[in-house]
Structure 1
């Protein structure tokens, strides 16, 4: 996996005008929160995403596309992805 700083930068740019915050859980999985920056409304929250395979711009771009689809479908959160 690339650094969490770089992942946040790429993911953030992929969801504009929404904001995206990625953090690493104690077990090494990721917590991804996509939200409206002014109101703080959370559009999607994933609490246990496997970082496995998130090692290239292409793989992260594919994840962004999948998450955009979930947001459009009206889903708000998942326990695990990947």
Structure 2
């Protein structure tokens, strides 16, 4: 997996003008939160995301594309993506 700092930077660039935070829990799974920066309103929250396969810019870009599709569909959150 790409280091979490780099992953967060790449993910954030894919959701502008929204903001995106990524964190790793003690079990090694990701939490991804996409939110409106001024109000703090969370538009998408994912927990338990496996970092397996997120080892390239292409893989992360594919994930961003999938998550943007979820946002457009109006889904606000789900767990264990990927």
TM-score by length of 1: 0.99
Q: Which residue of 2 aligns with 1:65?
A: 65
Partner-residue secondary structure (3-state), 2:21? strand
Q: Which runs of 5+ in 2 are unaligned?
A: none
The equivalences for 1:1-80 within 5 A come to: 1-80=1-80
Aligned positions, number: 82
CA distance in 1, matches of 2:44, 2:80: 13
Q: How far apart are residue 7 of structure 1 and its match? A: 0.3
Q: How far apart are residue 31 of structure 1 and its match? A: 0.2
CA distance in 2, matches of 1:37, 1:48: 23
Q: How far apart are residue 19 of structure 1 and its match? A: 0.2
Q: CA-to-partner distance for each residue in 1:4-57, whole Å, 9 max, x for gaps? A: 000010000000000000000111000000000000000000011000000000
Q: Which runs of 5+ in 1 are unaligned?
A: none
CA distance in 1, matches of 2:15, 2:37: 11
CA RMSD of aligned residues (A): 0.4
Structure 1 residue runs of 4+, over 3 Å off? none
